[in-house]
Structure 1
Amino acid sequence: MNNLGTGEILIVAIVLFILFGGKKLPELARGLGEAGRQFNAAFKGEDETDKPKKTPPKKDTKVSASKKGGD
């Protein structure tokens, strides 16, 4: 009963394009995505401070001493 087929999705996309225009749709989708992420984070009880910050791995800056061959 709640199945959306390709035809229905296409009709909804055309109506949205007519209502909001081509420039406004990406902004609308971005806003909906951000709202969904915030909702999921709030539902799980997470906060921005709870997430570990991603830091790039430290590069090894030590220069290894070359061996002098004395054969």
Structure 2
Amino acid sequence: MFGIGFQELLVVLVLVLLVFGANKLPEIGGGLGRAIRNFKRAASEPDEIDVTPTDKKDKNDDKQA
């Protein structure tokens, strides 16, 4: 498993528990899950570029008034 044995994984998990505490672990896990999900969604969607022309004349009139 990526060159990481059970003992190394256990040490990393204990260190994470000590650093962040038991109360923060669900928040960190949820945030990590959302980040991975959003990354996968963004990677699978085609790139969309909005090419609709904007009316710059109206925006300039609003700033001057």
Q: When the two structures are superposed, what TM-score results if normalisation uses the length of structure 2?
A: 0.65
- Greater gyration radius: 1
Task: Give the aligned length.
Answer: 45
**5+ long unaligned stretches in structure 2:** 47-65
Percentage identity across aligned positions?
38
C-alpha RMSD of the superposition: 1.2
**5+ long unaligned stretches in structure 1:** 47-71
Q: Which runs of 4+ in 1 moved over 2 A?
A: none
Higher relative contact order (CA 8 A, sep 6+): 2
Bigger helix share: 2
Q: When the two structures are superposed, what TM-score results if normalisation uses the length of structure 1?
A: 0.60
